[in-house]
Amino acid sequence: MASSMRISRFISRSVSSSSVFSRGLSSRVCKYSTNASSIEEPIKPTFHVDHTQLLIDGKFVDSASGKTFPTLDPRNGQVIAHVSEGQHEDVDRAVAAARKAFDHGPWPKMTAYERQRILLRAADLLEKHNNELATLETWDNGKPYEQAAEIEVPMLTRLIRYYAGWADKIHGLTVPADGPHQVHTLHEPIGVAGQIIPWNFPLLMFGWKVGPALACGNTIVLKTSEQTPLSALYAAKLFHEAGLPPGVLNIVSGFGPIAGAALASHMDVDKIAFTGSTATGKIILELAAKSNLKAATLELGGKSPFIVCEDADVDQAVELAHFALFFNQGQCCCAGSRTFVHESVYDEFVEKAKARALKRVVGDPFKSGVEQGPQIDSKQFEKILKYINSGVENGATLEAGGEKIGNKGFYIQPTVFSNVQDEMLIAKDEIFGPVQTILKFKEIDEVIRRANNSRFGLAAGIFTKSIDTANTLTRALRVGSVWVNCYDVFDATIPFGGYKMSGQGREKGEYSLKNYLQVKAVVTPLKNPAWL
């Protein structure tokens, strides 16, 4: 099923909680209100966390130093588990295993059909363990369980099946030459791929990285985010159960400045792929260049415009703009975080956007019907609150929210600002939280100029009934994805990436295969050819 259909189902209805949760607990959820003062005692999942070590050469092992770090439940700040802390020596071990598996192991020497069958078996296991994966994702990240179970894990499964389908369809070309030569190209795996994934969509980013790399015959060392290490370890275990040979997929949990830097600068890593902030992306690119000039794919930050035109159905536009911003607690690189609204419908839009935010259901993400859980951690929580304060201080009108909820965990009220000006920090910086900024515009040329006046260029949304307006905007906006009368439609086939400081390269779809392939030209002379 297409991801857009899954998202529509998620918006329009609630699904039952899984049996992996404790029974008999209150199912009541609290809608956000300006006087909300507490979040109920969180549900404790009955699922036991078994995989907390590093995965190197097909085995779960402790870090060389024996160090661990806690991964926390963002609902209350309590420790879920202690995870092995990978450092330089562990990255070296993982890279050595990946290099051996690439140079001497079976993976790149298998037929593409054999690799395809293993990936398909892995997808079947991901589907079978959908609820366990969703539980880990919600517990470690704070996203609604219904979102993880109904959208994200099925999308991961679909991604792996998609790339399994590509495995035996990667081939070169026969190329004509101006003379008596036989010329053909080979598309070869690039080698050992280093991959660094973020905390906001751990499983989906795992799929975006691992799927194309494995389909092309590469081996992998993947570093998880220190905030959300659990789900990737569990998913990687399932890949090995499916028959993935040792050393092909290695998982190192650890901190960016140590494990991430070691991976990006490693001389025996042939390619680095990173998803995260633009600031960190610059560091990754510098380390890649200063080491062995390894190829780099970067999917970075955004400050995406969502443009509501004068012909809009305001009720529909409010709902879609709300989803574009608040989905995943606002922790989405392509969030529609600059809501440009035409002056003719601006006041009506603001009032209805405020009302929608006040109705947003905030609470324990394991409870049915909850739309918004906590932010990922205290650092992000405090950062968002600082941006909210800056909006007030700079003269924007705080229409709704602006405060934390409760005394436990990292919950923030859905927040709406009107009368936002382009030069304000809340209109320029990536907040990465549940803060909607609403700006007024008058003319199409004006909104094009203002929307493009950003160092970012990841995505944009357009809400209009006019095909002419849609065509004008889609071609004028300097972004990698444009959603017209929809938002956050992520299909396995649709490429994703940014212009400007939102990154380089594309994830998903056929385009992502180019990140993990080298092209080799082979030229052979022809003796007395019948034709050229």
Contacts 24+ apart (CB under 8 A), 21-27: 21/45, 21/46, 21/135, 21/366, 22/46, 27/367, 27/368
pLDDT digits (tens, 9 = 90+) for 168-192: 999 999 999 999 999 999 999 999 9
Instruction: Convert the pLDDT of each residue in 148-166 to its tens digit.
Output: 999 999 999 999 999 999 9
Q: How do residues 193-220 score in pLDDT, each as one tens digit?
A: 999 999 999 999 999 999 999 999 999 9
The pLDDT tens digits for 208-253 are: 999 999 999 999 999 999 999 999 999 999 999 999 999 999 999 9
Residue 227 and residue 81 in contact, taking contact as beta carbons nearer than 8 Å: no
Q: Which has more confidence, 400 or 17? A: 400
Q: DSSP assignment, residue 523?
A: E
Residue 37 has pLDDT above 90, yes or no: no
Question: Are the beta carbons of 123 and 153 closer than 8 angstroms?
Answer: no
Residue-level pLDDT at 35: 36
Closest CA to 405 of 397, 415, 391: 415
Predicted local confidence at residue 26, as pLDDT: 32
What pLDDT score was predicted for residue 309? 98
The reported pLDDT for the residue numbered 529 is: 92
Residues 149, 281, 478, CA angle at the centre, nearest 5°?
Answer: 85
Structure tokens belonging to residue 304: 């995406």
299 an active-site residue? yes
pLDDT tens for 282-315 read 999 999 999 999 999 999 999 999 999 999 999 9
- Report whether pLDDT(24) > 50: no
Residue 257 pLDDT > 70, yes or no? yes
pLDDT category, 385, cuts 50, 70, 90? very high
pLDDT given for residue 532 in this prediction: 87
For position 7, what pLDDT does the model report? 56
pLDDT, position 39: 64
Mean pLDDT of 134-141: 98
Q: Please write the tens of the pLDDT for every residue from 434-490.
A: 999 999 999 999 999 999 999 999 999 999 999 999 999 999 999 999 999 999 999
- Count Cα atoms within 13 angstroms, Cβ side, for 92: 4
Q: What is the arithmetic mean of pLDDT over 509-516?
A: 97
Report pLDDT for 164: 98
- Residue of 144, 179, 483, 432 lying closest to 307 (CA atoms): 483
pLDDT at 30 over 60: no
Q: pLDDT (tens digit, 9 = 90+) per residue, 41-85?
A: 899 999 999 999 999 999 999 999 999 999 999 999 999 999 999
> Which 3-state string (H, E, C) describes 200-253?
CCHHHHHHHHHHHHHHCCCEEEEEECCCCCHHHHHHHHHHHHCCCCCCCEEEEE
Active-site entry in 132, 299, 430, 507: 299
Range with lowest mean pLDDT among 28-42, 332-346, 473-487: 28-42
Quote the pLDDT of residue 343: 98
Q: Is residue 400 very low, low, confident or very high in pLDDT (cuts 50, 70, 90)?
A: very high
The answer, yes or no, to whether residue 23 has pLDDT greater than 60, is no
- In the numeric block, which tokens belong to residue 18? 């899984």
Q: What is the mean pLDDT of the chain?
A: 93
Whose structure tokens read 């940014």? 498
Confidence label for 40 from pLDDT (cuts 50, 70 and 90): confident
